[in-house]
């Protein structure tokens, strides 16, 4: 959970988000190395009095400063393509849910086993429990099994919305009249908080998303109760 003065990404709850976090750190380290090297070169050039009045060309240095950026881009591109492959669609998901954006709440449908449908509204402040978060908790959480390949279909009933869950590394646009698809696999139990990431009207900030990941047996018991 992100808190005040926390400069890091939220704790990952899926393999894809773990890879995205490591890729973020990998890229930041490369950028820091480039920044330090360029700063050192600029300071060195400004503080010395070495000149060469007859320098017309330098093929060696031009070759070096052309190849170094190319090699750097390769070190960034390879892990990026690896993550892109991990985020690719799956062919045989074990569970499919559908999220529908409304002004200003989300509704969900479980249609694989039983026809379960419910709306998810943000909890008012006066109804919150001691362990719940203001502006982030909802009355009906999305319960999903952990260690399971899950497909989510996202659409909207009125205007543009966006179903975003930072801890899972997923963000899917909800477009009226169109179904967008995403996949996720939660690798540990817990509660994830997300929000609509598309400005959709006056109450855009008050339609949070809450996912509760539980073991498979607990998920089956929850399905039977509903």
pLDDT tens digits for 62-105?
A: 898 899 999 999 999 999 988 888 877 667 888 899 999 999 99
- Per-residue confidence band for 142, with pLDDT thresholds at 50, 70 and 90: very high
Pairing between strand 150-156 and 180-184?
antiparallel
Q: Does 169 have pLDDT greater than 60?
A: yes
Q: In this predicted structure, what is the pLDDT of residue 58?
A: 78
Structure tokens belonging to residue 130: 């001691």
Q: In the chain, where does DSSP find H-type helix?
A: 15-47, 59-86, 216-225
Instruction: Tell me the percentage of the chain whose pLDDT exceeds 70.
Output: 96
Residue range 176-197, pLDDT digits in tens: 999 999 888 899 898 999 999 9
Q: In this predicted structure, what is the pLDDT of residue 33?
A: 93
Q: Looking at the domain 95-225, which fold is it?
A: Immunoglobulin-like (2.60.40)
Q: In this predicted structure, what is the pLDDT of residue 37?
A: 92
- Per-residue confidence band for 163, with pLDDT thresholds at 50, 70 and 90: very high
Q: In this predicted structure, what is the pLDDT of residue 114?
A: 76
- Per-residue confidence band for 130, with pLDDT thresholds at 50, 70 and 90: confident
Helix (H, G, I), strand (E, B) or coil at 25: helix
Note the pTM of the prediction, 2 decimals: 0.80
Q: In 10 A of CB 141, how many CB atoms?
A: 16
**Alpha-carbon dihedral 151, 18, 146, 197, rounded to 10 degrees:** -50
Q: Does 106 have pLDDT greater than 90?
A: yes
Q: In this predicted structure, what is the pLDDT of residue 89?
A: 65
Q: In this predicted structure, what is the pLDDT of residue 48?
A: 85
Q: Which residues pair with 117 in a beta bridge?
A: 109
> How many angstroms separate the CA atoms of 17 and 182, rounded?
14
By CB atoms closer than 10 A (0-12, 13-18, 19+), residue 19 is middle
Q: Does 1 have pLDDT greater than 70?
A: no
Listed in order, the ranges of the chain carrying CATH 2.60.40.420 are 95-225
């Amino acid at each position: 959970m992100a808190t005040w003065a926390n400069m890091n990404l939220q704790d990952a709850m899926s393999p894809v988000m773990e890879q995205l976090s490591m890729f973020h750190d990998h890229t930041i380290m490369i950028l820091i190395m480039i920044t330090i090297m360029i700063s050192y070169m600029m300071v060195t050039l400004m503080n010395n009095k070495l000149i060469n009045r007859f320098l017309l060309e330098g093929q060696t240095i031009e070759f070096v400063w052309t190849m170094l950026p190319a090699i750097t881009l390769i070190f960034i591109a390879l892990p990026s393509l690896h993550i892109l492959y991990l985020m690719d669609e799956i062919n045989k998901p074990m569970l499919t849910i559908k999220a529908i954006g409304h002004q200003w709440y989300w509704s969900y449908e479980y249609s694989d086993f039983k026809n379960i449908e419910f709306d998810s509204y943000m909890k008012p402040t006066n109804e919150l429990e001691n362990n719940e978060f203001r502006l982030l908790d909802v009355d009906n959480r999305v319960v999903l099994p952990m260690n399971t390949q899950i497909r989510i279909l996202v659409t909207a009933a009125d205007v543009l919305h966006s179903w975003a869950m930072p801890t899972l590394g997923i963000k899917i646009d909800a477009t009226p009249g169109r179904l967008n698809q995403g996949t996720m696999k939660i690798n540990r139990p817990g509660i994830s908080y997300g929000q609509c990431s598309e400005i959709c009207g006056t109450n855009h900030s008050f339609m949070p998303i809450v996912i509760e990941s539980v073991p498979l047996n607990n998920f089956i018991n929850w399905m039977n109760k509903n």
